[in-house]
Structures are given as structure tokens and as C-alpha cells.
Chains A and B, each alone.
Chain A
Amino acid sequence: MTDQYDIVIIGCGVIGSSIAYHLSEYKQKRILVIDKGFPLSGTSGSTQAWVWVHNKVPSWYGELSMYSAELYPFLERKIGDVEYKRTGGIAPFFAQTDWDKALRLAEEQAEVGIKVEVLTRDQVLEKEPALSPKIAGATYSDMDGNVNPFRLVELYIKAAKRNEVEFSFYNPVTEMVMEKDHYKIYTKNKKDAITTERVILAGGPWSKEIGELLGLDIPVKQVRGQVIITEPLAPFLKHTIGGMRQAENGEVLIGFSKEEVGYDRRTTMDVIQETAQMAINYIPSLAKANIVRSFSGVRVIPEDGFPILGKIPDKKNAYIAAMHSGVTLSPLVGTLMAELVMVGETSICLKRYSLKRFMNYA
């Protein structure tokens, strides 16, 4: 590790490692990625990892997710097998009154070219016979799928390393100083500052703390999610269901909880019981399945729910990428952030995602 770089990325989750890899494809800059822990110790190591498009609303946000999902097959050709599977996604609903909502969703998404079908009970059961006959219907899209987040982050890092990106793990960033045309970054393991022309904040649920090092107020919430996991079962779920998925090894990952309890990664009995109940409501036969373990992760959710992406207003050569659904969005976010840094403009306009939108209210 020298101490001079063109670009330093703080955070090596699915977002930081994707940005590092995509930047490294240009083979022009000296890049360092710093993480306070080890890759996957943050949210990217405790996620359902659906690549989920169809009910991301409003449609402009769905569109962003769609473009990212479309990049996955290309990404795999470049970095290797990340076990991306476009399974199609089913979001069941139970009330007849939800039909209207489902039709409106389909209409809204059609405007941007996301094909959402509204399926009757019989049509859903034909696609996915294990689902409960009590459901009223479902929305369906063949854009949705899932990926192995562990493989994804590992392969981003390996591909970036081949392109000479450097990594520093177990090394928290503790201080940042903006000088005239560069940043000085202080970390726990290094006495002297690392200097860099540009800095990219990809700290996930720690974005607020990292922002404060630059005197920024980054409005994100920490939202815990708990997931339970069955023993490997014979393949019986073909689709990614809004609520659960069956992984390649047969395990079913179940859960979709949201609690604002700060950075607390415990699993709790009440939510696990509710999650188990939800599983049976969706798929009655799961009652007989064995649960092997649970996990919990902390989402980073910007105050208005949408990604914060792009240049940081009023700070020269500083950038941020903080969002929920980072697994879905990672190939696109990596591509766009690399364009922004290397070329100065992006193939999809990022104005709407600027941190600036929060600053206007202040």
C-alpha cells in the first residue's frame, strides 16, 4: 500500500466493490478500497439478494432496477458465475380488493417497458403449485430473479484485483480532511494519511457516520431485516416469490421484516415466529420443513426510499452511493458511478438521485 491514490472508495460491500471493479475496467487510475471489516460483514452479507424489478415504484425507479437486472448476464461473462438466475418473480396478494392495486401497478410499469402481469389464483397456482390456494392472485414479471451475494462480492473483488485495485480490510476510516485539490484520509492501521484526488463513499448503513467525517448530513435510516432458512429441500419453488426464494442448494430463505432499531443485528423470537407464520400462509407445505438457522441484516434506507447517487454537492471530487436494494442495483450503479468519475457524465441521468434533494429542504 503506497499512500497516494487517484480514487479511494470507502466500504467494500456490493456497492463499493462494484464501483471499484467498474472503475478498474478503465485501467487508468490508482484505486484503493478501504473497509473497516471484511467484505460481506455489512449488509451485503445478510441479504435475500433478489434481483427484483417488478414492483419497484414509481416506474422511474422500476426502470432503474430493470436496467440493472439486464446487466447481470453481461456482468457474469466478465467476472464469472455469480449464480444469477432470472426465475421470474411472483408477488402474491390475499384480498380481492388488491386487484385494483395490481392492475394499476401493471399499468404504471408498462409506461417504462416493465411487463407486469396480473394473474388469477388459478394462473398463479399453475406457475407455482406450492402456493396457498387461499391467495387471491399475484403480480408477475419475468424480469425478476436472484443472485448469490457472496459469490457476487467475492468475484467483484477478484476481478478488481486482476485490474490492480488495492484493498485494505480491517481498517476503519477515522478522519477525512479536504485540502485544495485532494483529500487526506486517516485510518486506524496507518499513521500517515492516505492522499487521494477523489473519494467515493459506499458505507451502506454507516453512510451517516462516514458523511459526518466530511461535515455532511446524509439522511438514511437503518432498518433491520430478519430471515429464516430451511434445510435443503428438493427443488419445488421455481420463481422468486415476494417473500421467499429457494437457493441453488435447496435451502429456502424466508422473510421480509422491517424494524427501525438502529444497528442491532440480533434475531428476535417474535419476528422469527411471524416470519414462520408468513411462510405457512404463502406455502402451507413449508410447515413440515425444518428451520436450520436465521440471520439478520441492517438495511440502509434513504429517508425518501430512493438511492442517493452521484457527486456530493459543494464538495469537490467527492461522490456517494447509498441505497437500499443494492444487490439489484449493483451492476448499474457500478457502471454509472464509473462513468461519472471517468467521463464526467452518465448514460442515465442521475440528477433525481442527487444528495441535493435533501439539502433543498434544510
Chain B
Amino acid sequence: MSKKIGLAKKEARKGFSISSIYLIYAAIFWGYPFVWLFILLFSKWRFVGSPQFVGFRNITRVLTDPLFWKTVTNVFRFMMYYIPLVLIGALLFAIALNKIKFGKTFVALSFLVANVSSGVAYSIMFSNLFSVNGPINKALNSLFGITIPWFTSPQWAMFSIALIVIWKFIGYYGLILYAGLTAIPKSLYEAAELDGAGSLTKFFRITLPLLNPSIIMVLVLAITLAFGIFTEPYMITGGGPMRSTLTPMMHMITTAFQRMDPTYAATMAVFVAIISFGMIWVIRKTMEREVDLV
């Protein structure tokens, strides 16, 4: 008996000491930055000397900074194009993938290989493909006689960035939805068919409701991506034209390392995080449904 207790104690000590490797790591690379985040939030500091406490000045500055809110509006414009298009596209892709029998692997892989394109290289690739004299415009010109200022006009630039991010992520989201789709039992559809349900009824009454967790998952991923977007606008438009593609992350990096104002930049980052949390919370609260797949 006493030996057993001794063993359990030994096991507990071992388990905790191994886990504390991670706790130490987290304390240094997560806890310490977290404490700094609070210091930055309430001080003025330009990387030299020690931070000076300024109360809520950074926070009121964010609230009244038109440029910061412009960048947030830009993210919302990005989401306005990106989320509906990528969600509907990924849904159609998932349904089609579920239906096709020949060349399924080829189709899945050609959509997914876009996802592993490296941010910098793919931005360079698309800035050339969509340049004013680029191949896309050449094709459009010879087919319809139009030339579109993809990345060079304030009206088009954010839409064009949304398009290329769709190229990258539609297969990824599509596969998440496909996994959800294959988990729906076939018997449900068969039962609905016996009751005389058409394919539209089946889609809106069975597929869409039972796919809810996967759709929420895709929405959360898309929102997180939108608020963190950096490489594409940095590489392709540099935030222009007329700041129409300036994103919070670009604004944060310039503020911190070119204007040497890390405290304000960190405050903006916290605001962006809060806004994205808020959006995700609202979506989960209003759209999330419990789904029981048996």
C-alpha cells in the first residue's frame, strides 16, 4: 500500500517537473511580453531610457485617431469582399468535391497547393499577374476590351487583395467544410428523399444546419486572418493607393519601428485584438448551433 502511494507521488513529481519546462518557457516568452503589454499600454517610451507612465493617453489617442480607424475600416472592407466570396466558394467546392468521382485527388490538390505558397513569393507573383500590362489584363483586353487597375486604384485595390487571398484559402476552407460534409450521415438524406424533399430543401434543411460548426470555424479563421493581414498589402501596394489598403498591422509596424513609438503601436494591437474578439464573440453568440451527429 505504502509503496503504491510512493509510486503515485513519484509519478506526480515527475509529471509536474516535465510540464514545468513548458511553464518556464511560457513565463519567458508569453508572460513577460504580456506584462510588457500592460506597461506599454499606459506609458510613453521611445526604446530609450525607461517608460514613463502617462495614464490613459495612448488609449484616448487610439479612440480619436482617424488613421487607425481608417485601417480598421479597411479590414472591414476586406472582409466585406473576402468572407462572402470565400465562404460560398468553399461551400460549392466542398459540395462538388463530395460529388465527383474521377480526378478527385487532382482537384483537391490543385486547390490546396495554393495554400502553401509563401506569402512574399505569392504577393510578387500576383502583383505581376495583375499589373496594368500583365497577363490578366491582356486577356481581359483581348476578350472584352477592358483594362482593370487592379492594385492601382483605391476602388479596386482592396478587392484585388481579397481575390488573391481567396485564391490561397478557398481550398483550405473548402476542405474543412468537406470534412464536415462527409460526417453528415447519408441516412438523413435518404429519409428526406422518401418524404419527397428536393435538393434545395435538402441543402437548406440538412446540409447547412449540420455544417454549422464547420462554417463557424471557417468564419473564425477568416476574421482572424483579416485582422492580421500584413504581407500582401506590404508587398503589393505598400498600403496605397490613398491608404485604401493600409491595414492595422502595417500601421502598427510603421508606428513602432519607423516613428519609434512602440507604446502607441502596442495599444493599437490590443484594440485590434479586442475588435476581432468582439466580432468572433458576436458570430458565435448569434450563429452557433449545437449539432448532434450520430
A and B bind: no
What is the interface of chain A, defined by CB distance below 8 A to chain B? none
